[in-house]
Structure 1
């Protein structure tokens, strides 16, 4: 005989069924709530992939953040250097990784804004193949000139180049990189006849630049400061919309009569596509905590960079805006994919 819902047996069955149903319904919510707390697994390491050799300014920033991030997340965070091919090797490594939060990259804006528009070998889509996690830092590129060149302002450099058409050369991190595009924009805006000498990275470019084999170079601020300290080069201008708070005595290109070479430069943290939202949120919160630390801010400022975090949505928006800005310049310069 079936138990009536009004009988004691019926009431117990209904109560048991309701308890099971409510518990089952609560499981997804509980899982979502536990997501950020469950990540990362205790003792499992997180890697930050960097498309540059060890020892440079970006490498130093990544390692400083990794150390602090490990303290915040209570798990090892390591930096893995994958130099070469204008950050393409590193980016592809991250894209192929499992989207579980244990692999991300620290990358300059050129990786998502310029490379896809200037390098034929780029096979990734920055908007479909990567997950924005957080902005990391902002900092300008700096126009530096070898000490053998008799120029202490941008206008003096322009005059010297025009007096020696075809004889002056500038270095870049590589074809299609930000230092190349800045160099081409400068040449076009000032009407210069110069030779572009691309290198496989900043270290190779700096070696020839310091030796005087190339005469000028749009370099990352930390490297520009370090190279200037040798007495072999001088800083003439920052290629940014405004002066750097860390380099207040170095005027912008626009201040010195050359406009159109004032694009913002930044670095951000990205992971593979399809990362779970709770994991992204956990990494974002931890990075925000690290980047707000006075020690982090002081370390970045030593290289004329400002440590700065953002929400994933803000980084996505910045990525799109920077991509479109650089695309406009690339089209105006008539640069074909290399």
Structure 2
């Protein structure tokens, strides 16, 4: 009996520092890695969440951009970081669904090396063309692409991004030849469309909206199954004649696998409170971002379903990113 009590006491003593560490979290600044260049959708959202999260946590939240490889480089940093709640990732459909589904070699396992925290929201992409281009509709662009031996170039935020895969799916469903030009982030891609360096691109509504409103680019169609509230006058791809087209780019918060459940639960609760704030909701609504509250477990299920979806696209469309 005494031996059992001694063992139980030792076990409790071993666990006590971990429990105290969780109770004290956060006791120092938290780093939020955004795996894309400044100015893009992930960067805008990461800084919006980070600014308010530091108020809720009473600790600085430092946003760090680690761009490259469609979000893979920054995500890999977080996957290999200590699971203590002090390094977080603004993950995306690219880093946690598209690339894992379409690359034979990945430096991390998207479903095993991360603790899903919260689905922040999803947003439609939009097909843009420069104001110097002659086509005014999707059908006109398809006709022009079919008439050119080398197709029409389109830019994206990077290889494996949702913008890139929107173009690949467009090629598959519309039978139009487009040539992919990957950039290191959304901002440089759309600037080259504005500057007439490239004729077209797929971009998130978040990034494209102010440029569309300013008349610097022309929007032909959104990629989601429903029209975007931010661009109600722009048809969906399906309305524009590309049947079966439905792509939404999503953003989410992750921690390294093994992060204590209490920290993940706390982060999820704080983020949901932030996204429910009227001023935050108004801003995100204006940008076309749709948020549906989910628990970490629900988000994990959604992430798995998205990987399976893009695996089917890779197989049927013969799309490989390696």
Instruction: Tell me which of 28, 33, 38 is aligned to 2:24.
Output: 38
Matching residue of 2:84: 100
Matching residue of 1:52: 36
Instruction: Tell me which of 253, 278, 300 is aligned to 2:284.
Output: 300
Q: Secondary structure at the match of 2:163?
A: helix
Instruction: Tell me which of 226, 231, 236 is aligned to 2:220.
Output: 236
| Structure-2 separation of matches of 1:274 and 1:123 | 18
| Structure-2 separation of matches of 1:122 and 1:30 | 37
Counterparts in 2 of 1:28 and 1:138: CA distance versus 1, 3 Å? farther
Note if contact 1:141-1:265 (Cα within 8 Å) is conserved in structure 2: yes
Counterparts in 2 of 1:190 and 1:236: CA distance versus 1, 3 Å? same
Report the CA distance between 1:291 and its aligned residue.
Answer: 1.2
Counterparts in 2 of 1:20 and 1:87: CA distance versus 1, 3 Å? same
Matching residue of 1:11: none
Report the CA distance between 1:135 and its aligned residue.
Answer: 0.8
Q: Secondary structure at the match of 2:321?
A: coil
Note if contact 1:143-1:239 (Cα within 8 Å) is conserved in structure 2: yes
| Structure-1 separation of matches of 2:166 and 2:294 | 26
Give the gaps of 5 or more residues in structure 2. none
CA RMSD for the aligned pairs?
A: 2.8
Note if contact 1:117-1:337 (Cα within 8 Å) is conserved in structure 2: no
| Structure-1 separation of matches of 2:15 and 2:76 | 34
Report the CA distance between 1:114 and its aligned residue.
Answer: 0.7
Note if contact 2:78-2:255 (Cα within 8 Å) is conserved in structure 1: yes
| Structure-2 separation of matches of 1:330 and 1:289 | 37
TM-score by length of 2: 0.90
The answer on 1:210 being equivalent to 2:198 is no
Q: Secondary structure at the match of 1:256?
A: coil
The answer on 1:64 being equivalent to 2:48 is yes
Report the CA distance between 1:127 and its aligned residue.
Answer: 0.9
Q: Secondary structure at the match of 1:140?
A: strand
Matching residue of 1:282: 266
| Structure-2 separation of matches of 1:159 and 1:337 | 27
| Structure-2 separation of matches of 1:164 and 1:65 | 44
Deviations 1:255-291 (A, max 9, x none): 1220233123210000101111111111111111111
Report the CA distance between 1:194 and its aligned residue.
Answer: 2.8
Report the CA distance between 1:203 and its aligned residue.
Answer: 2.7
| Structure-2 separation of matches of 1:28 and 1:249 | 61
Q: Secondary structure at the match of 1:254?
A: coil
The answer on 1:310 being equivalent to 2:294 is yes
TM-score by length of 1: 0.86
Report the CA distance between 1:172 and its aligned residue.
Answer: 1.9
The answer on 1:263 being equivalent to 2:263 is no
Give the gaps of 5 or more residues in structure 1. 1-18
Note if contact 2:34-2:74 (Cα within 8 Å) is conserved in structure 1: yes
Report the CA distance between 1:332 and its aligned residue.
Answer: 1.0
Instruction: Tell me which of 227, 247, 251 is aligned to 2:211.
Output: 227
| Structure-1 separation of matches of 2:208 and 2:260 | 39
Number of aligned pairs? 322
Report the CA distance between 1:55 and its aligned residue.
Answer: 2.8
The answer on 1:337 being equivalent to 2:314 is no
Larger radius of gyration: 1
Report the CA distance between 1:25 and its aligned residue.
Answer: 9.9
Matching residue of 2:158: 174
Note if contact 2:159-2:321 (Cα within 8 Å) is conserved in structure 1: no
